[in-house]
Amino acid sequence: MTEKRAREFEFTDDDFERIRKFVSEHTGIVLTVAKKDMVYGRLSKRIRKGGFGDFSAFCDAIDNGDEEQQEFLINAITTNLTSFFREEHHFEYLANEVIPELVKLKSANRRLRIWSAGCSTGEEPYSIAITLKEALPDFEKWDVKILATDLDANVVDHGKQGIYRAERIEGLSAERTQRWFKRGRGEQADLVKVKSELQDMISFKRLNLLHPWPMQGTFDLMFCRNVVIYFDKDTQRVLFERYAKMLIPNAHLFIGHSESLYKVSTDFDSLGKTIYRKNH
């Protein structure tokens, strides 16, 4: 009771249920009761600055179709934790196993299409782009495009800009840092920007995975890491079935370290270390 009195705004179970219902219906993300404090923390500043007075009024705006508040809620709830070359073994496998295979398979048209779903602020698709640039022989003779999508409009815009705090690349080798990033000067000395040749490879788009997808054609490989953990099993089954339809036969799929397709999809075979291959 003491904690509740200390809060600036009342946040009832009914308020939480209304938010949970909207988030589930519009994103597929399932908010457990354990997330209630997290939701309060992420929304209370909005309640104050927006002059709502309490969570109930904010929920009214959401339910009445206020698009600005709805987009804020979606962006606030979406968790964006990422880094360059996160789960490095995935990129090593991409360089050493997948790319040589695709070189043989696609030698006729030299065209590669890759999807980074749940791209967050862009570190993942840029890591994919760097890996391709480094490992694909005669890269300049290939037509390579990466589609990077996320539900959160703010992180999509961040990724498109390609500007990060210098500390974000401290774990990279000096060679990679120098080759693929430009350091800021003066007041921007603590910032880095990815080089334009990487940006030119990537199209950043906002996409709700539960809605119809506008993409035409198929992808040669896909990253969808730490995205489906927020969905219930039924939603996961639908998603991976849709993913399978978007991938070429035998395409590789990379998922997050805490995720599994066990009892979720029969369209993919596990290769170990959260790497899968489409089996048809």
Q: pLDDT tens digits, residue range 102-122? A: 999 999 999 999 999 999 999
Of 3-12, 52-61, 85-94, 234-243, the range with the lowest mean pLDDT is 3-12
Of 3-12, 192-201, 221-230, the range with the lowest mean pLDDT is 3-12
Q: What is the mean pLDDT of residues 194-206?
A: 98
Architecture of the domain whose range is 2-77:
Orthogonal Bundle (1.10)
9 with 59: CB under 8 angstroms?
Answer: no
Mean pLDDT across the chain: 92
d(CA 233, CA 261): 10
Exposure b/e, 173-189, CB count within 10 A at least 16 = b: eeebbeebbeeeeeeee
Of 61 and 79, which is predicted with more confidence? Answer: 61
| pLDDT higher than threshold 70 for residue 41 | yes
Q: Name which CATH class applies to 88-278.
A: alpha beta
Provide the pLDDT for residue 3.
45
| pLDDT higher than threshold 50 for residue 4 | no
Of 38-42, 162-166, 188-192, 217-221, the range with the lowest mean pLDDT is 38-42
153 with 71: CB under 8 angstroms?
Answer: yes
Provide the pLDDT for residue 80.
60
Classify 180 as helix, strand or coil: helix
Provide the pLDDT for residue 241.
97
Classify 88 as helix, strand or coil: helix
Across 24-28, 74-78, 126-130, 213-217, the highest mean pLDDT is recorded for 126-130
Instruction: Show me where the domains of the chain are located.
Output: 2-77, 88-278
Write the pLDDT tens digit of every residue in 71-95.
889 878 866 667 899 899 999 999 9
Provide the pLDDT for residue 53.
86
Q: How confident is the model at residue 2 (pLDDT cuts 50, 70, 90)?
A: very low
Catalytic residues: 42, 150
Q: What is the mean pLDDT of residues 220-230?
A: 92
Provide the pLDDT for residue 32.
84
| pLDDT higher than threshold 80 for residue 218 | yes
| pLDDT higher than threshold 80 for residue 23 | yes
Torsion over CA: 124, 199, 121, 84 (sign)? positive
Q: What is the mean pLDDT of residues 211-234?
A: 92
**β-pair partners for 28:** none
Provide the pLDDT for residue 236.
95
| pLDDT higher than threshold 90 for residue 1 | no
Question: Taking the model in full, what pTM does it have?
Answer: 0.82
